């Protein structure tokens, strides 16, 4: 089935996750249901082809063949053609009797009808993420108990996806789930696949969310998190902490923040709640953390010049219609060629926010240590990971010449630009690419 997918709205995960999981469990169905299900699957296959041909850039990004040299036709005629094909697709979907489908497929019917309805109305489908096990061109891998798709999604929602920051916080967010899904499905395919195609299965995630909303709670951490929050409330009351500090503590203890300074602040609140420090010592630590976040005039000017400047450049690139750009961590100063990792990450974060504000602009973040004579592989990997977390769509580390270094980076980091060659070729082709650094960089 091409559209074997999980659609998560920005409300709750459980209402849609469980019905989707029943697809992979193979519940028995009546002959009439099987006939209607096949009709529905044939329709989805045909409509997938429609999407690929109407949006060739997306088709190329997911490995769909035959679309590499085409672009979306945004002329009046092209827009009219898409509208006509959409109307025809909706008519065909309505002609399929939803009530004649098995229960799990009825969920798919409803979700796909809603998706087409948003397209019909010209409304972006916000706060939704669609997870696909592959491009739909080949079957998805089956494991011993469930399909690989079901296994990864279920494990992630049970708590394994709760891995952002220095520890699980008890909350599984959509960004955490996306990262877990993209990382673990390919790893599981490589481990369990019996053929080259099975080992090379790559997932696809269609992201349309505007915030990092919560999908579910991590049951292994939730109880401890609740206990700590209750302890903090008692300490806050007994210590007469100011209201704004109490509110800050509540927010930080409930959910892992993204900024390093805020993570350090969270640790301070945790120590206070756990009775490891008194209120007076906590106040000193908090003041020190706040002081470390304040910029001097020179630092503020540098921030404006380098960080805000990066965002402005991307904003202008989006405005004139470019499809993407790259942001490097090279300073332009040969004596001090690479930005401090903190400032470099802030540049990527600011650029990513500008890139993703209104569309599908692709931002590539470059870690250029090796290009400028700094052979620090560990730092390069750390930078690539930080840039990924900051929102870069593609990561690139130019000038890696050692095959061992290339293997280390490919293993440690996702979103690499070199993975386009690794992603869609056969296992032999992927190995050949890995053995040829020049081919790897150019792919």
> What is the domain partition of the chain in residue ranges?
6-217, 234-292, 297-442
β-bridge pairing 362-366 and 394-396:
parallel
Q: Which residue has the higher pLDDT, 247 or 4?
A: 247
- pLDDT value of residue 400: 85
> Please, which contacts does 107-113 make with residues 24 or more away whose CB atoms are closer than 8 Å?
107/16, 107/19, 107/20, 108/3, 108/20, 108/23, 108/40, 109/40, 111/7, 111/16, 112/3, 112/44
Tokens 């927010």 — which residue?
A: 251
Task: Write the CATH number of the domain with boundaries 297-442.
Answer: 3.20.20.60
| CB atoms near residue 296 (< 10 Å) | 8
Residue pLDDT, tens place only, 165-178: 899 999 999 889 98
The model's pLDDT over 33-73, given as tens digits with 9 standing for 90+, comes to: 888 989 998 998 888 888 888 888 777 766 778 777 777 77
pLDDT in tens, 324-376: 899 999 988 888 899 999 889 999 999 998 888 766 788 999 999 999 999 89
pLDDT greater than 60 at residue 3: no
pLDDT of 366 reads 94
């Amino acid at each position: 089935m091409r559209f074997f997918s999980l659609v998560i709205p920005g409300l709750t995960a459980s209402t849609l996750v469980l019905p989707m999981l029943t697809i992979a469990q193979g519940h028995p169905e009546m002959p009439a249901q099987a006939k209607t299900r096949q009709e529905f699957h044939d329709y989805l296959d045909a409509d997938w082809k429609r999407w690929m041909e109407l949006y060739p850039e997306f088709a190329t990004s997911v490995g769909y063949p035959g679309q590499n040299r085409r672009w979306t036709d945004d002329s009046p005629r092209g827009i009219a053609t898409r509208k006509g094909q959409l109307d025809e697709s909706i008519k065909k979907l309505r002609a399929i009797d939803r009530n004649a489908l098995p229960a799990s497929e009825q969920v798919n019917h409803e979700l796909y009808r809603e998706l087409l309805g948003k397209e019909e109305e010209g409304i972006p489908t916000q706060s939704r993420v669609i997870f696909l096990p592959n491009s739909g061109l080949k079957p998805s891998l089956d494991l011993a108990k469930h399909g690989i798709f079901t296994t990864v999604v279920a494990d992630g929602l049970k708590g394994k996806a709760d891995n952002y920051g220095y520890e699980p916080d008890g909350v599984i967010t959509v960004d955490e789930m996306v990262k877990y899904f993209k990382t673990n499905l390919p790893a599981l395919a490589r481990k369990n696949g019996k053929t080259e195609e099975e080992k090379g299965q790559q997932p696809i995630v269609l992201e349309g969310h505007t915030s990092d909303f919560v999908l579910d709670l991590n049951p292994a951490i939730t109880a401890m998190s609740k206990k700590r929050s209750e302890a903090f409330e008692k300490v806050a009351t007994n210590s007469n902490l100011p209201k704004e500090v109490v509110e800050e503590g509540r927010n930080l203890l409930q959910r892992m923040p993204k900024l390093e300074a805020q993570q350090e602040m969270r640790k301070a609140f945790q120590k206070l709640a756990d009775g490891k420090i008194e209120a007076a010592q906590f106040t000193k630590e908090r003041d020190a953390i706040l002081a470390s976040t304040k910029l001097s005039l020179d630092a503020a000017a540098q921030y404006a010049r380098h960080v805000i400047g990066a965002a402005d450049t991307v904003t202008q690139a989006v405005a004139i219609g470019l499809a993407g750009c790259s942001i490097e961590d090279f300073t332009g100063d040969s004596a001090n060629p690479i930005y401090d990792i903190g400032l470099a990450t802030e540049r990527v974060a600011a650029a990513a926010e500008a890139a993703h504000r209104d569309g599908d602009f692709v931002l590539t973040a470059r870690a250029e240590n090796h290009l400028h004579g700094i052979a620090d592989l560990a730092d390069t990997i750390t930078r690539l990971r930080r840039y990924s977390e900051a929102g870069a769509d593609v990561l690139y580390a130019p000038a890696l010449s050692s095959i061992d270094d290339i293997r280390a980076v490919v293993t440690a980091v996702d979103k690499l630009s070199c993975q386009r060659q690794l992603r869609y070729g056969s296992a032999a082709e992927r190995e050949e690419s890995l053995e040829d650094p020049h081919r790897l960089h150019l792919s």
